[in-house]
Structure 1
Amino acid sequence: MKDDKPLQPLAHRPADVCRILGIGNTKFYELVNSGELPIIKLDGLTLVSDEACRALLERNACGPEGLRRNVAGHANAAKKIGRPAKFPVRRAADA
């Protein structure tokens, strides 16, 4: 029986991961070197599983509480000092 669903890739090359996640090469390799984004080596080819990409996003997702902060202002301030922006989650007790 033929299935008409398009095949989804199980793993991606680094350039594709950067495009999918909206990050640059430097950030990609920072995530790999820190162990946050596991890679697969296959005959010299570097791959990242689709599951690892999704897990990275899930681990770093902020809930609705975190979106109440002025995210744009926080990100701009972080850029000025040369550090990645981190968005702490505000809890109801902090408001």
Structure 2
Amino acid sequence: MKTTKYLPLFLSLLLPLSAVAAQLSPENVVLDFYRLNLQDPPSDGYAKSQDLYVSPALLESISESLSCNFDGPGTDQAFCDQPRPCK
């Protein structure tokens, strides 16, 4: 019978966890992304969403991938010829 006494307390402690999980649902992430990026007039929404949703490691990986996929004058061939592990 002691468990029924503490059950409401235990459930009330889990409530904030479910609220956080609901805030991070895919639907809310997409809505937040578009809310930050599609404002009229434009603001610093892109920078805010980049800080929230893009890790520095992902930015570095994207930058490395893009720098070697173009045959332009800005391509650093020595950098592109270095072997890198697949990600």
TM-score > 0.5 by shorter chain? no
TM-score class, shorter-chain normalisation, is under 0.3
Q: Greater RCO between the two (CA within 8 Å, min separation 6)?
A: 1
TM-score (norm 2): 0.24
Q: Which has the higher strand share?
A: 1
TM-score by length of 1: 0.23
| Higher gyration radius (CA) | 2
